[in-house]
Structure 1
Amino acid sequence: MKQALLVVMLSLVVLSTPAQSEELWPVPDWSQAADSNSPAWRQVQAYAFTARDEQSREGARSDALLVIKQGRIVYEHYAAPTTAQTSHLTWSISKSVLATLLGVARNEGRFELSDPVARFYPAMQAHPRIRLQDLLHWASGLDWQEDYEYAPLNSSVVPMLYTRGRGDMAAYTVARPAAVEPGQRFLYSSGDSNVLAAALRTMVGPERYQQYPWDALFSPLGITSAVWERDASGTLVGSSYLYMSARDLARIGLLMLRDGRWQSQQLLPKDWVAFNRTLFTKAVAQPGEANPGGHWWLNQPLPDGQRPWPDVPADTFAALGHWGQALYVMPDEQMVVVRFADDRDEQLRHNELLKRVLAAQSGAQP
């Protein structure tokens, strides 16, 4: 009798206690943790939101910082005029979102990584050995200089985005001469990303292409803030010109955190996410700089270097953009972090920011 009563009592406890492994999804919006923005986050805020007139202070000038832990908002702060509803320019985070969109197309059986790009973008017949996986590794072998506004005369990307290449950015890229064999050298190139965006048009068909990012990815995730510019030829500017709110970008992070699954639907193949997170070793390590995966950035060491962000879990990966835009995914911590900025002085250090975020979440001192 006592044993039967004990079983009933234990059953009641189990029924009244939320499952520890319960998954939370932002449907329709993110839930907020009860202790979000607690005093433990002061060190994070002091570092991430340096006052605009305090250039000499250690820290960074953020527009937004959002931290999601196990599907809940644990920290969120904005600097005016940015708000939770602002569609912020993500710059090169666009590249990783493009790779995520390509993952949906891959799930639909529209291409293989080993396919030659020329199958989907005929102008690439001038470089018939370049494969889709080479573009995704930024290893097309095409001559390219990814210099920005501080070195415009040497730049390939500045004329692509703003002058003679802006009418058809993929065609501008393909017209570049070959520098090395495809797949043999990492050379970061916004042009490679825009050729991928052009190839996607053939993969999905021109009639679907205009709405494809929304139909295939944004709408299933509940993303409503996305704006993605096109060049004059109608090709998505996959390298640079996606705008999105911090909360909506975090949905991309959660999709990647959960291996391409959104609730009960497997939007991306698991092996696609694994490819995004697999190190492309034909690069040279730069201290503090993340290393390339499949159009995402990894906290894994190249053979000639240390882990880029030593105080952050090794499985951390990220989408990164000009002037300090960042989407960090930390599977070990079940955490997604979004940072928007106009950080032209480049004061932010990824390792320092994430170290403080982890300390705030655990209650430790950074």
Structure 2
Amino acid sequence: MIRATLRYLSLVAALGGGLVQAETWPAAEWQTAETAAGPALEALQAYAFPPRDEQVRGGVRTDALLVIRDGVLVYEQYAGPSGPQTPHLAWSATKSLLACVLGVAYGEGRFQLGDAVGGYYPPFAAHPQVKLGHLLNWASGLDWQESYEYAPLKSSVVAMLYTRGREDMAAFVSSHPAAVAPGVRSVYSSGDSNVLAAALKGMLAPDEYDDYPWRALFEPLGIRSAVWERDTSGTFVGSSYAYLTARDLARVGLLMQRNGRWGDRQLLPAAWVAFNRTAFVNPQGAPAAAGEVVPGGHWWLNQAAPGEALAWPSAPASTFAALGHWGQALYVLPEQGLVIVRYADDRDGSYQHDELLKRALAVFAPQALP
């Protein structure tokens, strides 16, 4: 944990330098500007919005694509029943929203990354060595299977969301045994995220929890569309079940693109955003597998070990993202001043993040292409 702290504090220094220049921020609505038509824009649209057959569950099926550049909405397109006022299920991009809510709580001094989870969520006391920072890196060490419809009988997450665990998801996760020591490896886990959502309850007064995401995050950002489902125990399903319009999710992206600042208010501590953007490294210093986005603090990072290729080679290494099942994505490209939201219903695995980013960069930041 000390090494991780030093890594993300060094990133704070890198992110915090330089003078703040004039910036555009959304008010009740985004300021808009048109993007000139041309072959690059046509190529982006052809990939994102191919001919759509509502009877076929396969291929690339984008419901919404939205691009913010330097705080201005420069591209927006919808398909099917979706539109600018349609809240869309974010699936696991919800996890990164939860990280932002926790970032506000962190800034309010309600917890530290090195605190034991059981101190905030007593049912997790059976795992006394697991810290909140471990959960944020999906490194609890619990025996967890994050498989979906392809292997439902062995899936921990399917059982949590839909069968045995759905009434009290955090308690269901807490009942799992340890597979390895916490912090030894990062294994993507919706269970870790839902325990974090339950731990948030223990950080707050009894009457604060129900509206805390709105008071802490959504209202300061001007987000009006957010819906966040809870399980029967009253805990927000931090892994999966937030709904927002594409325009509102883009506000979260702009917050992160500008290092946790919203206007003249530092809503998320810079140290927290740096932690979100610091890659998990196990105690032996082993990097993530080559060709994969790597976990940060409940965000995904386009980073690679020295000599290895980026997962998204067409995008800058500083790119990070909130990602969800069936193609949901919130991409943040800090150096290019870009925030890209994609809502989708992909079912066959043919969609490629790098392909969309390559085509988007060709339109909105061609100088960033390798």
Q: TM-score under structure 2 normalisation? A: 0.89
CA distance in 2, matches of 1:313, 1:220: 29
Determine helix, strand or coil for the equivalent of 1:240: coil
Partner of 1:69: 69
Residues 219-251 of structure 1: CA deviation (Å, up to 9, x unaligned): 010000000000000000000000000000000
Note the 1:94-109 alignment, pairs <5 A. Answer: 94-109=94-109
Offset, 1:188: 0.6
1:170 matched residue in structure 2: 170
User: Which residue of the partner structure matches residue 325 of structure 1?
Assistant: 328
Q: Does 1:351 align with 2:354?
A: yes
* Aligned match of 1:239: 239
Distance in structure 2 (CA, Å) of the matches to 1:217 and 1:278: 22
Aligned 8 A contact 2:59 2:349 in 1:
no
The correspondence of residues 32-181 of structure 1 with structure 2, limited to 5 A, is: 32-35=32-35, 40-53=40-53, 60-181=60-181
- Which 5+ residue runs of structure 2 have no aligned equivalent? 1-19
C-alpha spacing 1:28/1:303, structure 2 compared with 1 (3 Å)? same
Residue 363 of structure 2 corresponds to 360
CA RMSD of aligned residues (A): 2.2
Counterparts of 2:24 and 2:224, CA distance in 1: 19
Q: 2-side partners of 1:242 and 1:128: how far apart?
A: 30
Contact 1:285 1:305 in 2 (8 A): no
* Structure 1 residues 363 and 130: alpha-carbon distance in aligned structure 2, compared to 1, 3 A threshold: closer
The count of corresponding residues between Structure 1 and Structure 2 is 346
CA displacement at 1:80 relative to structure 2: 1.7
Q: Deviations over 1:303-356 (max 9, x none)?
A: 684211111011000000000000000001000000000001122111110010
- The change in CA–CA distance for 1:363 and 1:146 in structure 2 (over 3 A counts) is closer
CA distance in 2 between counterparts of 1:362 and 1:207 reads 46
Gaps spanning 5+ residues in structure 1: where? 1-19
Name the counterpart of 1:289: 292
| Distance verdict in 2 for CA 1:304–1:81, change over 3 Å | same
Aligned residue type for 1:259:
N
The 1:331–1:349 alpha-carbon spacing in structure 2 relative to 1, beyond 3 Å, is same
Task: Please tell me whether the aligned partners of residues 24 and 71 of structure 1 are also in contact (alpha carbons under 8 angstroms).
Answer: yes
Bigger relative contact order (CA 8 A; separation at least 6): 2
Contact residue 290 and residue 304 of structure 2 kept, 8 A = no
Task: Give the distance between the partners of 1:289 and 1:82, measured in 2 at CA.
Answer: 31
1:362 deviates by: 4.1
User: Is the 2:144–2:176 Cα contact (8 Å) retained in structure 1?
Assistant: yes
Q: CA deviation at 1:61?
A: 1.1
Partners in 2 of 1:342 and 1:310 — Cα distance? 24
Partner in structure 1 of residue 275 of structure 2: 275
Q: Secondary structure at the match of 1:51?
A: coil
Q: Which runs of 4+ in 1 moved over 2 A?
A: 34-40, 52-56, 281-289, 302-306
The residue type paired with residue 187 of structure 2 is L
Give the conservation status (yes or no) of the 8 Å contact 2:34–2:75: no
| Structure of higher CA gyration radius | 1
> Contact 1:141/1:185 (CA < 8 Å) preserved in 2?
yes
Instruction: Map Cα deviations across residues 89-109 of structure 1 (whole Å, 9 max, x no partner).
Output: 000000000000000000100
Q: 1:151 to 1:138 in 2, by over 3 A?
A: same
Give the fraction of aligned pairs with identical amino acids, expressed as a percent.
62
User: Would you say the 8 A contact 2:59–2:347 is kept in 1?
Assistant: no
Name the CA distance, whole Å, in 2 between partners of 1:55 and 1:310.
34
Alpha-carbon offset, residue 210 of structure 1: 0.3
Distance in 2 between the 1:351 and 1:280 partners? Answer: 22
Displacement of 1:51: 1.5
- The residue aligned with 2:342 is 339
TM-superposition CA deviations, 1:190-213 (whole Å, max 9, x none): 000000000001112221100000
Change beyond 3 A, Cα 1:240–1:258: same
Matched-pair contact (CA < 8 Å) for 2:281–2:288: no
Q: What residue is the counterpart of 1:218 in the other structure?
A: 218
Does 2:199 correspond to 1:196? no
